[in-house]
Amino acid sequence: MKAPNNATSRDEMSSTLGALDVADQLSERLAQLGHEHCVFSRNGELFAIPVSAAREVLFDETPAPVPRAPDLVVGVINLRGEVLPLVRFDLLLGFEPRVFTPEDHVLVLSVENIHLGLIVDRVREVRPIKPSEIRGGAEAEVGRPHVTGYWEGPLGVVYVLDPRSLAHAAVSLAQQGFQQRRAQGFSVRALS
C-alpha cells in the first residue's frame, strides 16, 4: 500500500485556497463595479454619476456650432461617426451658464439610447460609492434637480446624480428650445 504524499496534498490544498482567494477577490470587485461612480467638478462643486451611464471622457474638444440652437446646446462633435450634442451641465442644474473653454472636459453620457456630452470642469476620479453611504434622496432635501443624494468623501460633499433624469431633462429642454426658435421664425428648410 502506498502512503499518501503529504507534499502533493499540501500543494493541492494551497492551490484550492489560492483559487478561493482569487474567487473572493473577484466577487468583491464585481460587487464594487456595480457601485463605481465617475466623480467630476463644475462651478466649484463635486458630482458623481454611475459609470454604467458614463461612456467616456473627452478632452480638447471643439464643438461645431448649431445655428440658432438653444442656450443648452453648445454645439456638436463627431465621435467616431456619431453626432454627439454637447450640453451645458450648468443649465441642467440651475447654475448660471459658463462659456465653454478648451480646458473643459466632456463627460459622454449614454442612457436609454440617449447619447450626449455633458460639459464639466474636470473629471476627478472613478471610485466606488456604496448605496448605504449615500445620504438624502429627494431633490427637496438636497436642493438640486436630478440629484439622488450626497456622499461625503475625501474631496468633500459629492452630489450623486440620476443619469436617467439628467438625460431626459436635457432632451426635453433641447426640444423645447428648438421649438421656441422655430416659433420665432427659424426653420431648418430656410438653411437649405
Domain residue spans in the chain?
35-184
> What is the CB neighbour count within 10 angstroms for residue 108?
19
What's the chain's average pLDDT?
A: 83
Residue 185's pLDDT band (boundaries 50, 70, 90)?
confident
- Contact at 8 Å (CB) between 87 and 73? yes
Write the pLDDT tens digit of every residue in 76-116: 999 999 999 999 999 998 888 889 998 999 999 999 999 99
Return all residues near 107 (Cβ < 8 A) that are at least 6 apart.
38, 40, 49, 54, 57, 117, 118, 120, 123
- pLDDT, residue 21, reads 67
Q: Does domain 35-184 have CATH number 3.90.1300.10?
A: no
Write the pLDDT tens digit of every residue in 40-62: 999 999 999 999 999 999 999 99
Return all residues near 15 (Cβ < 8 A) that are at least 6 apart.
none
Cell (9 digits) for 149: 443624494
Return all residues near 87 (Cβ < 8 A) that are at least 6 apart.
72, 73, 74, 116, 117, 118, 119, 170, 174
The residue to which cell 456595480 is assigned: 34
In the chain, the N- to C-terminal Cα span, in Å, equals 94
- pLDDT, residue 140, reads 43
- pLDDT, residue 17, reads 52
Alpha carbon distance 62, 94 (integer Å): 24
Write the pLDDT tens digit of every residue in 119-143: 999 999 999 999 999 998 655 455 6
**pTM (2 d.p.):** 0.75
